[in-house]
Structure 1
Amino acid sequence: MLNLVWSVGGFLVAIGILVAFHEFGHYWVARRCGVKVLRFSLGFGKPLWTRTSKDGVEWVVSALPLGGYVKMLDEREGEVPANERHLAFNTQSLGKRALIVAAGPIFNFALAILFYWAVFILGVEGIKPLLAEPPAASIAAKVGLHQGDQVLRIGDVEIATWNKLRTELLSRALEGKPVPVVIKTSGGETRELVIDLAAVRVDPEFLFNDLGFEVFQPEIPALIESVVKGDPADDAGLKTGDLFLSFNGTPVTSWQQWSKWVRAHPGEVAKVQVKRGNETLERNLIIGHGDQGLGKIGARVAVPPELWQDLRAEDRLNPIAAVPAAIRYTGQMSMLTLKMLWRMVLGDVSIKNVSGPIQIAEVAGITAQVGFVPFLAFMAIVSVSLGVLNLLPVPLLDGGHLLYYAVEAVKGSPVSERMMEMGQRLGVTFLVALMGLAFYNDIARLLN
C-alpha cells in the first residue's frame, strides 16, 4: 500500500511539474509575441479547480493528469472581435507561430538541463565500473578484458559509475562503430583498447550480454536473510540465518554460484545442506518457476554492507563544470531517445521498451523513495522524452504543427483544412496506438 502511495504521489508531482513547464513555454512565448491567452490547463477533462486572473486568463487544473494545453485566441476556433484580431494566434507571422509551438519542447529540454545541472552538483552515487569475468566467446573476452578491470574512459568521456558506462555504451552502440576504451587492470596497469560495436544488438536487453559486460560482484556468503512465505524455500523448511553449504553434493562457494545454478534449473529437486546455528541439516528443495522461466526459491541473501563499500563511486562536478556537462548529457539523451525510436521502427529494438503511465509511476515511486537526486534524474529523462516526443512530425503534436508550418514556408500559403483534417485523423490513430502499446507493455510487466 505504501509503495502505491509513493508511486501515485511521485507520478503526480513529476508529471505536474513537467507538463506545467511545457505548457508554460507555450504560454510565456505566446504572451511575448502579443497573442492573447484564454486558458492554461493542467490535465484534461472535468475541471477540479479554476481561477481567472486579472488579465483574463483562466487557470485550470483538470481531472485527467496526462497532459495539458494552452488555449489562445484563434479565428479558427471561434468568433474574434475586430479590435482583437491582431491578438489572435492565426493572424501572427509564420515565425511567431512556429516559435510559440516550439516553445513547449524547448522548455522541456531547458528544464532537463536544469535538473541534470543540479544532479551533477549534488552528486550521482553508483557502483564503480568494474567488470566481472566475461564469458569466453564474448567481445569483452576477445579484446582481453578480465575480472576486476575498471573502465576509465570511453572515447573522450570519463566513466565514473556503472550507470554512466551503460548510457555511453548504448549511445555508441547505436552508431555501430569501433570505440576506444581506456581501462585500469586489477593490477593497476592502464590499457587502451578498441571495441567494435558493429556486431552487437542495440536492444538494451541484449547489448551487455553480447558485449560480455557484467558488473563485478564480491563473493557473497550464501546466508539467508529472509524467506518468502509459501515459496519453495519456505516449503522446504529453510529459515532466516541458514547458511547453504552444498547442493547435490556440490559445495556452495558463494550466493552468486548458488543462485546461478537455481536460475538454470527450474522444476528440479536439489538436496541441500545448510548450517543452522551449530547444526548441519539436509533438506529437499524443489526449485520453483520465476520470471522468464528462470528458477527461484523465494529466499533473500544477507549482504554484508562492508563488501560493497570499496565499490561505491560518486560522479560530482562543480557548478561551473556542471553547465556544459548538463547541456551535453541532455543532448546525448535526446539523440539516444530518437535513435531508439528509429531502431524500434526498423525492428532492431523491441517495442517492449515503450513504457506507459503505470511503469512511469512505478519508477517515480521507486526513485522518490531512494532520494532527491535519483528523483531529479528521473524527472530529467522524462522531460527529455516529452520534448522529443512532442517534436515528432505527427499531427496533434507540436512537431506536427511545425511540419505544417514548414510546408507553408515552402508553398507560401497555409496547409488546406482538408489536409489538416486528414492529418488529425492520422495523429489520433498514431497516439491511440502508441498509448495502447504503452498500456499493454505496462500490464504485461505487472503480470510477469
Structure 2
Amino acid sequence: MIETPGFIVTVLAFIAVIGPLVFVHEFGHYIVGRWCGVKAETFSIGFGKEIAAWVDSRGARWRLGLLPLGGYVKFKGDMSVASQADPKWLELPAAERAQSFPGKPVWQRAAIVFAGPAINFLFALVIMAGFALAYGENVTPAVASKVMAGSAAEKAGIRAGDRIVAIDGRRIDRFDQLTQSVFHRPGELSSFALDRGGRTIILPITIGVREEKDRFGNHYRFGQLGIRSAAPVQRNVSLLEAPGVAVDRTVSIVRMMVETMGQMVTGRRPLDELGGPLKMAQLSGEQADRGIEDFIFFMALISINLGFINLLPIPMLDGGHLLFYAIEAVQRRPVSPQVQEWAYRSGLAVLLTVMVLVTLNDLSSFGLWKSLSGLIG
C-alpha cells in the first residue's frame, strides 16, 4: 500500500514544488524580456488576493498571490495577464512604445514567450545532470535473467536469457528503458522484438497490470512484464557526459507524456487518471516523505511537465502564443484581433473545462463522493 504523509507536510511540500517552478518559468519570460528591452510592469507568483508586494528600481511590481497555482509577467502594452495586446499601446509616446511587448519584432516576442517553457526544461536538465554525476548511469542490459511464474512474460513465451531489443519498433538498449516503456502501458498489447541466441523473435505480449492503492483507497495501475534483470550495471558519468545523459532522460520522459496523452485521447487510458493540483499536492507530500532525493527528482518531473503543457498549441498557453507568432511570421501581419479574441475565449473555455475535470477527479480520488453518498444514504 502507498502511504501518504500528513496534511501539513503535504501542503508545505506542494508549495515547495510549485512555488520555485512557477518562479523559474516566469523568470524565463522576465529575463528574456529584459534582454529584448521590454519593460515588465508586474511579476506575480500566485493569483488572487495580494499578500505581499514590492516595487523594484525599474518600476516592476513583484507580488505574491494567495493562490500559488501559477503566475504571470505583465509587460508594458499587455492588456491582460494572458499577454493580449492592449490597443492603447499605439497611443503611448515613442520611447514607451519601444519598451512595450507588442512593439517588438515577432522573433523577440516568440523568444520571450518560449523562454518560460525552455527554462523549465533547463531546470530539469540541470537536476538530471546532477543526478547522473552523483550516481552514474544505469546501463544494465535489457536481458531477462529470470522470468516470473504466471507473469505476462511467461505467458507470452519469454525465456531466461532473452534480450529485449525493441518494443513496437522502438529500440531498447537498457533495462531501465524497458521498465519505462512497460510502466505506462498496463493491459496493452505490444510487439516485442527479442534476441534469443542470435535469432530475432517477434512476440505479441499483453502487458500485465500491477495495482497499488493508498490509504484513501485510490487504485493505481502500472504495467508489469514479470522479468528480472541480472545484477545492476552502473557506470560513472563524467562532467562532459552528464548533459547528454540528462537530455536522454528528459526526452524519454517527454515521450512518455506524449504517449500517455495519446492513450487518453484514444480512450486506452481512462480520463479519471488525469490529476490536478490536489493530486499534485498529494504526490508532493509522498515524495517529500520518501526523502530529499526523491523530492528533487519529482521537482524535475513536474518542471518537465510544466514546460511540456505550456508548449501545447492552446490559446492562453505559451504554445498558443507561439502558434500566433508563427502565423504572423508566415503571413507577415498579425492575426486579426477578432480571431485572437475568439481563440483566447475558446482556449480559456478548454482550460476551465480541464480544470473542472481534474478537480472532480482529485476529489473523487480522495473519496469525497463516497463520503457524500454515505451521508445521503
- Give TM-score scaled by structure 2 length: 0.78
Aligned position for 2:254: 334
Kept in 2: contact 1:29–1:103 (CA 8 A): yes
Aligned partner (choices 144, 149, 167) of residue 158 of structure 2:
144
Aligned partner (choices 177, 182, 199) of residue 169 of structure 1:
182
Aligned position for 2:95: 83
Query: Which has the larger Rg?
Result: 1
Cα shift at 1:4: 1.2
- Distance in 2 between residues matched to 1:196 and 1:150, nearest whole Å: 12
Kept in 2: contact 1:134–1:145 (CA 8 A): no
Distance verdict in 2 for CA 1:141–1:416, change over 3 Å: same
Q: Deviations over 1:227-279 (max 9, x none)?
A: xxxxxxxxxxxxxxxxxxxxxxxxxxxxxxxxxxxxxxxxxxxxxxxxxxxxx
Aligned partner (choices 126, 137, 158) of residue 174 of structure 2:
158
Q: Deviations over 1:114-142 (max 9, x none)?
A: 1111223333999x987552437x35433
Q: Which runs of 5+ in 2 are unaligned?
A: 79-84, 212-219, 371-377
Where in structure 2 are the equivalents of 1:45-444 lying within 5 Å? 45-74=48-77, 76-77=85-86, 80-123=92-135, 133-135=148-150, 138-145=152-159, 155-159=171-175, 165-169=178-182, 178-180=191-193, 194=201, 196=203, 208=223, 213-214=225-226, 317-444=237-364
- Give TM-score scaled by structure 1 length: 0.66
Kept in 1: contact 2:147–2:227 (CA 8 A): yes
Aligned position for 2:215: none
Secondary structure at the counterpart of residue 223 of structure 2: helix
Secondary structure at the counterpart of residue 157 of structure 1: coil
Cα shift at 1:322: 2.5
Q: Which runs of 5+ in 1 are unaligned?
A: 184-189, 217-309
Secondary structure at the counterpart of residue 98 of structure 2: helix
Distance verdict in 2 for CA 1:327–1:2, change over 3 Å: closer
Question: Which amino acid in the other structure matches residue 159 of structure 2?
Answer: L
Question: Which amino acid in the other structure matches residue 166 of structure 1?
Answer: T
Give the aligned length.
Answer: 339
- Distance in 1 between residues matched to 2:174 and 2:113, nearest whole Å: 37
Q: Deviations over 1:294-329 (max 9, x none)?
A: xxxxxxxxxxxxxxxx98997874443332111111
Q: Deviations over 1:149-174 (max 9, x none)?
A: 79797645322x6xx5431335899x
Q: Deviations over 1:358-397 (max 9, x none)?
A: 1111111111121121111111111111111101111100
Residue 33 in structure 1 maps to residue 36 in structure 2: yes
- Distance in 2 between residues matched to 1:417 and 1:24, nearest whole Å: 28
Distance verdict in 2 for CA 1:370–1:170, change over 3 Å: closer
Aligned position for 1:293: none
Q: What is the root-mean-square deviation of aligned Cα atoms in Å?
A: 3.6
Of residues 114-123 and 191-200 in structure 1, the stretch that sits farther from structure 2 once superposed is 191-200
- Distance in 2 between residues matched to 1:364 and 1:441, nearest whole Å: 17
Q: Calculate percent identity across the aligned residue pairs.
A: 30
Cα shift at 1:181: 5.3
Cα shift at 1:23: 0.5
Question: Which amino acid in the other structure matches residue 157 of structure 1?
Answer: D
- Distance in 1 between residues matched to 2:110 and 2:210, nearest whole Å: 35
Cα shift at 1:193: 6.2
Question: Which amino acid in the other structure matches residue 85 of structure 1?
Answer: R
Kept in 1: contact 2:32–2:111 (CA 8 A): yes
Question: Which amino acid in the other structure matches residue 182 of structure 2?
Answer: L
Distance verdict in 2 for CA 1:440–1:33, change over 3 Å: same
Distance verdict in 2 for CA 1:125–1:429, change over 3 Å: same
Distance verdict in 2 for CA 1:326–1:125, change over 3 Å: closer
Cα shift at 1:443: 1.7
